[in-house]
């Protein structure tokens, strides 16, 4: 009998509580964490509590429809669960209390749809978010959602994904996304971490070899935030031997290997280098694709231990014996990179699998998981702007906190190098062994506050009106002990809505609330004026080292001790670096 795991019970209860309160629900659960079971238990309890509830389940791939129906039927055998998918059966059946469909099939019968109370969708990071300024549907899901919402204004959404972020939006919830987009979820309801599942033996540990010097992609154009696939394929097609060399050198003892390539041309080129492997891609006939997949899954009989694919196996593919993933397709998408890695995380003790080896012959791991921790991805949030009003990507310098364009190889403020120089190579590049185990962060240490002041700070950055942006700078003079006279300066920053938008203002609001209970001001001038009289002065600031600088993680207060009156300049001269941490 299946025994529910603690994290699954928490996710189930949190989902039911959220949906029953009338809110949309978003879960983030790693690949292999049992999403189908968790969802089935949630829907079973909701239909028990609300017998008239009618639920639409939208799946991204036809191949998953029957799998999910089987799981749901095993959890709730008394429910009428029907299928509305032309690729699975000849008829569209919308009569069930729970209807399972793909977006492509359901859009064709949208006008005939009955009233639904709840939409559930897996892989909800694949939804395109609608724009504030555009009434047109953003895609198939948006068309379905808006139509069903017009039929039932109380319609609720239940989304599950292993990656609650996307290339289009950044994060797909709250306000941590590209400006001008409207997320479907106000918050991330519940998150299960990879560390929790690997520490408890529910997912296998991973280790890796990654290229220290990788291919030169400087001539590959960026289209809609991602590499131009045709140009990328041409460049990666020159490096097919590196994959064979990597397998021979590092994965000779691996039993089941997945190689992710750029496109079909790249797949075929790699296939020619790997005798005995199989190809699996969307341009193959369904019968041929199934035969290749069956050969790979039955590698003990067929000796086909290597499968070469593109994206078709990056979502929903479940073959537990996979113990090696080769990343041969550079991507700007953190979500795609993690989904591909996730294909090797499931446990398979019956085949002797003890871990999963990640071989990255691209720069994906360095770009998306610089700390080698799957729970701390480097998610890039698109920004408004750019030369033609198109979104441009940004990142934060890990040394000084400066906001920089993602294409920068060096921080313009402090000179920190983001990545090592790329060099073209037709041979296997130098590889380094990495440890994916999450490193516990250094605990914060107390620093004693000897002085505190607030000022208007003028940034080097300019707003849309051409003027330099302004924000509040909070300066602390601190010492390592109460008796010490060795003063160190630590700075905090608060952004207001007169010069900033989105996540910067959200973080500013949070920081303001930690120092006073007064309402958050609308502009920096009012904020600095108010702060003099309403900010509480902490006796200590808890700090961690962030690169070469101290970073405040929390405050320690002694009653309601107020800040002494600070001298406030109209402007503060720009420092050597603009260390705004958000």
pLDDT for residue 460 is more than 90: no
Six-digit token pair at 360?
């990255």
pLDDT at 383: 63
**192, 220, 247 — which closes off a domain?**
192
Determine the number of helices (DSSP H) and then strands (DSSP E) in the chain. Answer: 15, 25
When pLDDT is cut at 50, 70 and 90, the band that residue 446 belongs to is very high
Q: Are residues 132 and 113 in the same domain?
A: yes
Q: Are residues 210 and 128 in the same domain?
A: no
pLDDT for residue 75 is more than 60: yes
pLDDT for residue 569 is more than 50: no
pLDDT digits (tens, 9 = 90+) for 311-337: 777 776 778 899 999 999 999 888 889
* 365 within a domain of the structure (yes/no): yes
> Regarding beta strands 222-223 and 226-227, do their DSSP bridges make them parallel or antiparallel, or are they unpaired?
antiparallel
pLDDT for residue 14 is more than 90: yes
When pLDDT is cut at 50, 70 and 90, the band that residue 565 belongs to is very low
Q: Are residues 62 and 99 in the same domain?
A: yes
**396, 417, 435 — which closes off a domain?**
435
pLDDT for residue 388 is more than 60: no
Q: Residue range 433-460: average pLDDT?
A: 80
Out of 181-185, 246-250, 333-337, 410-414, pick the least confident.
410-414
Q: Do 163 and 124 form a contact (C-beta atoms < 8 A)?
A: no
Q: Are residues 392 and 417 in the same domain?
A: yes
pLDDT digits (tens, 9 = 90+) for 126-146: 888 888 877 888 888 999 999
Q: Which residue has the higher pLDDT, 388 or 144?
A: 144
pLDDT at 95: 92
Q: Do 210 and 326 form a contact (C-beta atoms < 8 A)?
A: no
* 576 within a domain of the structure (yes/no): no
* 512 within a domain of the structure (yes/no): yes
What's the mean per-residue pLDDT of the chain? 82
Q: The sheet that has 81-84: what strands, in order across it? A: 81-84, 98-102, 55-59, 118-122, 156-161, 25-28, 190-191
Six-digit token pair at 537?
């002065």
pLDDT at 313: 75
Six-digit token pair at 433?
């062994």
When pLDDT is cut at 50, 70 and 90, the band that residue 419 belongs to is low
Q: Domain containing 169 — which CATH number? A: 3.40.50.300
Which residues, in sequence order, are CB contacts of 198 under 8 Å at separation 6+?
Answer: 204, 205, 437
Query: 532 in helix, strand or coil?
Result: helix
pLDDT above 90 covers what percent of the chain?
32
When pLDDT is cut at 50, 70 and 90, the band that residue 238 belongs to is confident
When pLDDT is cut at 50, 70 and 90, the band that residue 422 belongs to is very low
**405, 435, 465 — which closes off a domain?**
435
- Number of domains the chain contains: 3
Q: Are residues 462 and 530 in the same domain?
A: yes
* Type and span of the H or E element at 384: none
pLDDT at 87: 78
Enclosing domain of residue 299: 202-435
User: What whole-number distance in Å separates Cα of residue 160 and Cα of residue 144?
Assistant: 18
pLDDT at 561: 54
* 518 within a domain of the structure (yes/no): yes
Out of 102-116, 162-176, 535-549, 553-567, pick the least confident.
553-567
Out of 359-368, 418-427, 428-437, 525-534, pick the least confident.
418-427
pLDDT for residue 60 is more than 90: no
Q: Are residues 538 and 423 in the same domain?
A: no
Q: Are residues 173 and 206 in the same domain?
A: no
Query: How many Å separate Cα 461 from the centre of its chain?
Result: 27
User: What whole-number distance in Å separates Cα of residue 215 and Cα of residue 362?
Assistant: 7
Q: The sheet that has 257-260: what strands, in order across it? A: 278-280, 306-309, 257-260, 324-327, 356-360, 206-211, 431-435
* 574 within a domain of the structure (yes/no): no
Residues in the chain: 582
| Most distant pair of Cα atoms in the chain: their distance | 81
* 440 within a domain of the structure (yes/no): no
Q: Are residues 172 and 28 in the same domain?
A: yes
pLDDT at 218: 82
Q: Are residues 299 and 188 in the same domain?
A: no
* 567 within a domain of the structure (yes/no): no
pLDDT at 98: 93
Q: Are residues 468 and 319 in the same domain?
A: no
User: What whole-number distance in Å separates Cα of residue 34 and Cα of residue 63?
Assistant: 17
CA angle 150, 155, 157 (to 5 degrees): 125
* 226 within a domain of the structure (yes/no): yes
Out of 183-187, 220-224, 458-462, 487-491, pick the least confident.
458-462
pLDDT at 421: 37
Q: Are residues 217 and 181 in the same domain?
A: no
Q: Are residues 29 and 143 in the same domain?
A: yes
Out of 20-34, 107-121, 378-392, 567-581, pick the least confident.
567-581
User: What whole-number distance in Å separates Cα of residue 267 and Cα of residue 106?
Assistant: 32
Q: What's the pTM?
A: 0.65
């Amino acid at each position: 009998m299946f025994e529910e795991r603690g994290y699954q019970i928490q996710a189930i209860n949190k989902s039911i509580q959220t949906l029953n309160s009338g809110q949309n629900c978003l879960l983030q659960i790693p690949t292999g964490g049992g999403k189908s079971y968790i969802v089935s238990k949630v829907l079973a309890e909701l239909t028990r509590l609300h017998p008239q509830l009618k639920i639409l389940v939208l799946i991204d791939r036809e191949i998953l429809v029957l799998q999910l129906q089987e799981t749901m039927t095993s959890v709730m055998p008394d429910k009428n669960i029907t299928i509305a998918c032309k690729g699975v059966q000849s008829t569209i059946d919308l009569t069930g209390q729970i209807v399972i469909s793909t977006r492509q099939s359901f859009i064709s019968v949208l006008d005939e749809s009955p009233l639904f109370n709840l939409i559930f969708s897996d892989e909800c990071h694949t939804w395109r978010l609608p724009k504030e300024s555009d009434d047109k549907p953003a895609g198939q899901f948006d068309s379905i959602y808006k139509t069903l919402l017009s039929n039932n204004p109380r319609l609720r959404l239940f989304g599950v994904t292993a990656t609650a972020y996307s290339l289009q939006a950044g994060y797909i919830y709250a306000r941590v996304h590209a400006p001008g987009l409207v997320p479907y979820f106000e918050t991330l309801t519940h998150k299960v971490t990879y560390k929790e599942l690997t520490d408890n033996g529910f997912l296998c540990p991973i280790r890796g070899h990654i290229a220290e010097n990788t291919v030169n992609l400087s001539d590959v154009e960026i289209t809609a935030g991602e590499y131009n696939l045709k140009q990328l394929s041409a460049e990666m097609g020159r490096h097919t031997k590196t994959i064979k060399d990597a397998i021979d050198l590092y994965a000779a003892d691996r039993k089941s290997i997945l190689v992710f390539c750029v496109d079909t041309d790249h797949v075929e080129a790699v296939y020619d280098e790997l005798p005995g492997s199989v190809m699996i891609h969307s341009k193959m006939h369904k019968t041929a694709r199934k035969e290749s997949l069956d050969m790979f899954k039955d590698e003990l009989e067929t000796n086909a231990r290597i499968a070469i694919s593109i994206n078709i196996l990056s979502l929903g593919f479940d073959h537990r014996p996979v113990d090696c993933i080769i990343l041969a397709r550079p991507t700007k998408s953190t979500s795609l990179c993690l989904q591909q890695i996730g294909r090797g995380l499931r446990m398979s003790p019956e085949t002797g699998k003890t871990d999963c080896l990640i071989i990255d012959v691209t720069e994906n791991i360095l770009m998306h998981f610089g700390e080698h921790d799957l729970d701390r991805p480097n998610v890039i949030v698109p920004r408004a702007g750019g030369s033609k009003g198109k979104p441009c990507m940004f990142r934060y310098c890990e040394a000084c906190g400066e906001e920089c364009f993602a294409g920068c190889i060096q921080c313009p403020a402090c000179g920190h190098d983001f990545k090592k120089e790329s060099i073209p190579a037709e041979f296997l590049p130098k590889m380094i062994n990495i440890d994916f185990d999450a490193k516990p962060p250094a605990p914060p240490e107390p620093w004693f506050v000897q002085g505190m002041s607030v000022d208007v700070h003028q940034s080097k950055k300019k707003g849309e009106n051409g003027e330099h942006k302004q924000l509040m700078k909070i300066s602390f003079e601190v010492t390592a002990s109460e008796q010490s006279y060795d003063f160190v300066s630590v700075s905090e920053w608060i952004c207001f809505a007169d010069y900033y938008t989105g996540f910067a203002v959200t973080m500013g609001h949070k920081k303001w609330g930690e120092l006073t209970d007064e309402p958050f001001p609308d502009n920096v001038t009012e904020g600095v004026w108010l702060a003099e009289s309403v900010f509480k002065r902490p006796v200590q600031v808890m700090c961690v080292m962030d690169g070469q600088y101290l970073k405040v993680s929390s405050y320690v207060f002694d009653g309601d001790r107020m800040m002494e009156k600070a001298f406030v300049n109209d402007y503060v001269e720009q420092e050597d670096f603009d260390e705004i941490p958000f």
